């Protein structure tokens, strides 16, 4: 039975071996498939990386845009009123009238405030009466002097009488002069109970309400009451500061007679992109500010639309030298190499080359290149980052300038 069991076992083993052969083949197939699934994508990815590494970068190139421009300076300035007046009471009394609304534009001579004129009218009437009495006394003294002089000629009068009448005449004349002075003083006070606009301008807020007692500067003691403030609005000043370098550049241009002191400036407000307004640079200070190293400059700007407001900021642009031709490239095409500025160009051999350039400000939305670049060279204006010496494929592009505006 052992032999038979062995045969069965062997038979079973044989059957098992016969049975396992197909499963072994499936396992091998699964193993191969698994290896292919794991290794295949990696090999495919590596091949794509090698292909990408061997591919020539595609860049967009264009020749610089030539343009005639003039040199200029740009500054940030602040507007201020040409005239500003603090309206204060000249005489004291009760405020009885306000003739404007806060923020109104008022014309020159407009009535702004009234201080109760009653006590000053009384004083003026008293002075007028004193003048009338003094004038009557003077007329009497004149008549009596004439009578005394006539009597003296007929020996009916005395020299002492003539001298006395002469003294009375002089006293009457002095009394009249004094009375007239008091009337003028009372008239001054009476006139200043009405406060008028000294010029056309914009009013601030009123600082005293009707019914309040105000103090004048003729009463002595306390400071006169501030009623309101008025500022002129047309024209208006634009104040800005020049650095020492800008000032020297400006002075050299003026010495070369390429620019006048009363030169036109172009102005844009903080929310404007165009320098549409114009003014006249009419003042440069005579000393530098020691703390900031700048010198004060001022332009006068028309303000017919009354949009410009004292205290607001604006950009001012000052043109200097005559026009000259420069090359314009996109600002992104210029890179920094320590203290130098470089642009990447592509030669006829399709190899990238770095060129050192001297640049200026932004004009027409592009960067000004003064030197180092020629108009025939092809500048890389778009594409992937490339290094000098790299072989590239090129696509022709264009450089399109925008409006000639810019910020500080």
336, part of any domain: yes
pLDDT for res 153: 75
Shared-domain flag, residues 91 and 196: yes
Q: CA quadruple 253, 259, 260, 263: dihedral positive or negative?
A: negative
pLDDT of 406: 52
Q: Specify whether 262 is located in the same domain as 172.
A: no
Statement to judge: residues 273 and 211 lie in one domain: no
Q: What was the pLDDT predicted at 238?
A: 96
| Residue 74, in any domain of the structure | no
Q: Is residue 364 one of the residues assigned to a domain?
A: yes
Answer whether 214's CB lies under 8 Å from 90's CB.
Answer: no
Distance CA 299, CA 144 (A): 70
Phi, psi at residue 356, to the nearest 5°? Answer: -80, 130
Partners of 74 in the beta sheet? 317
Q: Are residues 102 and 180 in the same domain?
A: yes
CB neighbourhood size of 253 (10 A): 19
Residues 221 and 249 in one domain: no
Give residue for tokens 């003039």. Answer: 70
CA-to-CA dists, residue 50 to 45, 47, 54, 71, 200, angstroms: 9, 5, 6, 51, 79
Taking the CA atoms of residue 201, residue 207, residue 212 and residue 218 in that order, the dihedral angle to the nearest 10 degrees is -70
Q: Does the residue 51 lie in any domain? A: no
Would residue 95 count as lying in a domain? Answer: yes
189, 204, 229 - which closes a domain: 229
Per-residue pLDDT of 147-163, as tens digits, reads: 877 777 777 667 787 78
119 lies in the same domain as 201 = yes
Q: Which of 193, 210, 229 is the last residue of a domain?
A: 229
Please give the pLDDT value at position 42. 44
Q: Which two tokens stand for residue 187?
A: 């008239």
- Pairing relationship of beta strands 334-337 and 324-329 according to DSSP bridges: unpaired
Total count of domains within the chain: 4
Residues 254 and 207 in one domain: no
List of long-range contacts for 152-161, beta carbons under 8 Å, 24+ apart: none
Q: Which letter, b or e, does each residue of 11-25 get, where b requires 16 or more Cβ atoms within 10 Å of its Cβ?
A: eeeeeeeeeeeeeee
Whichever domain contains 360, its CATH number is 2.40.420.20
Tell whether 11 is covered by a domain.
yes
With beta carbons less than 8 A apart as the criterion, state whether 345 and 361 touch.
no
Taking each helix axis from N to C end, the angle separating 118-153 and 159-191, rounded to the nearest 10 degrees, works out to 160
Q: The tokens 């069965």 sit on which residue? A: 8
Residues 209 and 101 in one domain: yes
Length in residues, the chain: 408
Residue 47 within any structural domain of the chain: no
Domain boundary among 229, 258, 284: 229
Same domain, 288 and 184: no
Per the CB < 8 A criterion, the answer to whether 254 and 73 are in contact is: no
**Rounded Cα–Cα distance for residues 320 and 309 (Å):** 27
Is 388 within the bounds of a domain? Answer: yes
pLDDT one digit per residue (tens) for the chain, 408 residues: 444 444 444 444 444 444 434 434 434 433 334 434 444 444 334 444 444 455 789 999 999 999 887 777 889 999 999 999 999 999 999 999 999 999 999 999 999 999 999 999 999 999 999 999 988 988 888 888 888 777 777 776 677 877 888 888 888 899 899 999 999 999 999 999 999 999 999 999 999 999 999 998 876 667 899 999 999 999 999 999 998 888 888 888 777 766 555 578 889 998 887 888 999 998 999 999 999 889 999 999 999 988 999 999 999 988 776 667 889 999 999 988 777 889 999 998 999 999 999 887 788 888 888 888 998 999 999 999 999 999 999 999 999 888 765 544
Question: Looking at the structure, do residues 176 and 110 belong to the same domain, yes or no?
Answer: yes
What single DSSP character describes residue 325?
E
Mark whether 388 and 348 lie in a shared domain.
Answer: yes
> Which structural domain, as residue segments, surrounds residue 346?
59-68+325-396
Shared domain for 94 and 225, answered yes or no, is yes
Dihedral angle sign, alpha carbons of residues 223, 229, 234, 235? positive
Cβ atoms of 380 and 397 within 8 Å: the answer is no
Q: Which whole-number Å values give the CA distances from 327 to 62, 70, 111, 252, 403, in the listed order?
A: 12, 13, 60, 25, 16
What is the structure's pLDDT at 338? Answer: 75
The answer to whether the Cα torsion of 254, 259, 264, 269 is positive or negative is negative
């Amino acid at each position: 039975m052992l032999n038979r069991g062995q045969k069965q076992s062997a038979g079973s083993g044989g059957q098992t071996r016969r049975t396992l052969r197909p499963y072994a083949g499936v396992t091998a197939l699964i193993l191969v498939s698994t290896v292919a699934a794991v290794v295949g994508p990696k090999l495919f990815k590596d091949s794509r990386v090698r292909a990408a590494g061997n591919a020539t970068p595609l860049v967009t190139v264009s020749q610089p845009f030539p343009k005639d421009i003039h040199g200029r300076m740009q500054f940030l300035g602040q507007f201020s009123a040409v005239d500003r007046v603090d309206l204060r009471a000249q005489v004291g009394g009760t405020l009885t009238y306000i003739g404007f609304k806060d923020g109104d534009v008022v014309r020159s001579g407009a009535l702004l405030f009234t201080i109760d004129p009653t006590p000053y009218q009384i004083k003026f009437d008293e002075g007028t009466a004193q003048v009338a009495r003094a004038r009557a006394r003077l007329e009497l003294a004149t008549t009596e002097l004439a009578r005394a002089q006539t009597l003296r000629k007929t020996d009916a009068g005395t020299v002492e009488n003539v001298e006395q009448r002469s003294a009375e005449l002089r006293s009457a004349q002095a009394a009249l002069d004094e009375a007239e002075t008091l009337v003028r003083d009372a008239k001054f006070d009476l006139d200043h109970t009405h406060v008028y606009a000294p010029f056309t301008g914009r009013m601030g807020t009123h600082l005293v309400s009707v019914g309040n007692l105000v103090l004048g500067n003729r009463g002595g003691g306390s400071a006169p009451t501030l009623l309101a403030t008025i500022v002129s609005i047309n024209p208006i000043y634009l104040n800005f500061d020049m650095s020492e370098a800008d000032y020297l550049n400006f002075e050299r241009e003026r010495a070369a007679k390429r620019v006048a002191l009363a030169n036109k400036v172009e102005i844009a407000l903080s929310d404007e992109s165009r320098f549409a307004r114009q003014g006249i640079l009419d003042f440069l200070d005579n000393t530098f500010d020691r703390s900031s190293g700048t010198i004060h400059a001022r332009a006068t700007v028309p303000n017919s639309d009354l949009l410009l407001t004292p205290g607001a900021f604006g950009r001012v642009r000052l043109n200097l030298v005559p026009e000259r031709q420069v090359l314009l490239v996109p600002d992104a095409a210029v890179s920094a190499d320590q203290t130098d500025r470089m642009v990447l160009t592509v030669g006829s051999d399709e190899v990238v080359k770095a060129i050192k350039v001297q640049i200026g400000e932004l004009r027409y939305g592009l960067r000004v290149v003064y030197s180092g670049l020629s108009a025939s060279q092809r500048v890389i204006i778009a594409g992937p980052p490339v290094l000098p010496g790299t072989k590239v494929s090129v696509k022709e592009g264009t450089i399109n300038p925008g409006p000639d505006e810019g910020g500080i």
